[in-house]
Amino acid sequence: MNHMQYQAPDNLLDGRVIAVTGAGDGIGAEAARTFAAHGATVILIGRTVPKLEEVYDQIEKAGGAQPGIYPISLDGAVEKDYRDMHDRLEEVFGQLDGLLHNAGKLGQRTPIANYTLASWQKVMQVNVTAEFLMTKALLPLLEKSDSASIIFTSSGVGKVGKPYWGAYAVSKFAIEGLSQVLAHELEGTSNIRVNCINPGATRTRMRATAFPAEDPATVTTPAAIMPTYLYLMGSASEGITGQSLDAQ
Ligand code: NAP
């Protein structure tokens, strides 16, 4: 079965609690709505509350389970904030079966020779360190699930470096590495599978910022790449770990 053509049953994620970062916009918002439409209770994690509230309303209007909203700024959060996140999610939801690390920062598009330390550090913080800290903090909750899925978000420039992509490309190489390390650590000792998705060119704010001259109408929509997200989040991917899948 090709994961890009995966057709998920409507009840795929019934009874599952799934956290999505960057859930207020772009791919993350689409993934949150899609997981909810397949039965999940979704925790919307992000920094811009009105955007999260909009996704919350869309999910409720569509008849999905009541979501949770967890505001956090990934560039400012420290280790204790993630421990607090664990405690709060455990208290409110009592379980966690999926974690989609989707939030990401593009940063500067400029040669390394001109790349500023400030932009470098911010991109690495949001795209790698925050994922490390959140995963570490939430692992005990995920370990209680009979079948949990962690998905990291990679990129084409996380596999082949390209000029001017700077820290963004390096951060995506790093996330592939983190995903593989964690996958192998958890393999055989837990029910958690760990994989990466490379969304491919997708019609979002980030894509429009990176390619301002491109006509967005020519770019794949977030909805069109959801089969791979559902495949990795649902039971069809049980036993699959340490992989990096292209969503298109
Ligand atoms: P997007 O529409 O710009 O969404 C990015 C999300 O990340 C937004 O919800 C944003 O929140 C959140 N975010 C950014 N910085 C944050 C921070 N410091 N704290 C908390 N949240 C933060 O971009 P997208 O295209 O959907 O990107 C989703 C993922 O796919 C990213 O990891 C990106 O690298 C990856 N990706 C995208 C493409 C593509 O073509 N679109 C291709 C390859 C990989 P706000 O809305 O509040 O800013």
Q: Where are the domains of the chain?
A: 11-246
Nearest Cα neighbor of 148 from 103, 99, 197, 183 is 99
The contacts of residue 8 (CB under 8 Å, 6+ apart) are 38, 227, 230, 231, 234, 236
The residue written with tokens 């920094």 in the block is 47
Which atom of ligand 1 lies at the shortest distance from residue 23's CA? 9
Q: Check pocket membership of 203 for ligand 1, CB cut-off 6 A.
A: no
Instruction: Give the Å distance between the CA of 209 and the centre of ligand 1.
Output: 11
**Cβ(67)–Cβ(40) under 8 Å?**
no
Residue with CA nearest ligand 1 atom 3: 206
Which atom of ligand 1 lies at the shortest distance from residue 125's CA? 18
Q: Check pocket membership of 134 for ligand 1, CB cut-off 6 A.
A: no
Instruction: Give the Å distance between the CA of 122 and the centre of ligand 1.
Output: 14
- Counting other chains too, the contacts that 83-91 makes at CB distance below 8 Å and 24 or more residues apart are 83/137, 85/134, 85/137, 85/138, 86/137, 86/138, 86/140, 86/141, 89/19, 89/43, 89/138, 89/141, 90/141
DSSP designation for 112: G
Where the chain has pLDDT below 70, the residues are 1
User: Is 6 among the catalytic positions?
Assistant: no
Instruction: Give the Å distance between the CA of 206 and the centre of ligand 1.
Output: 6
CATH class of 11-246: alpha beta
Instruction: Give the Å distance between the CA of 61 and the centre of ligand 1.
Output: 24
Residue with CA nearest ligand 1 atom 32: 104
DSSP designation for 105: -
Please report how many Cα atoms fall inside a 13 Å half-sphere around the Cα of residue 246, on the Cβ side.
7
Residue-wise pLDDT tens digits, 219-230: 999 999 999 999
Q: What is the pLDDT of residue 111?
A: 98
Q: Check pocket membership of 64 for ligand 1, CB cut-off 6 A.
A: no
Q: Give the pair of three-digit tokens for residue 29.
A: 């918002």
pTM, rounded to two decimals: 0.98
Q: Check pocket membership of 158 for ligand 1, CB cut-off 6 A.
A: no
Q: Check pocket membership of 131 for ligand 1, CB cut-off 6 A.
A: no
Q: What is the pLDDT of residue 122?
A: 98
Q: What is the pLDDT of residue 1?
A: 66
Q: What is the pLDDT of residue 181?
A: 98
**Cβ(36)–Cβ(10) under 8 Å?**
no
The residue written with tokens 């999905």 in the block is 64
Strands 98-101 and 244-246: unpaired
183 burial type by CB count under 10 A (0-12 exposed, 13-18 middle, 19+ buried): buried
Marked catalytic residue, from 6, 82, 115, 168? 168
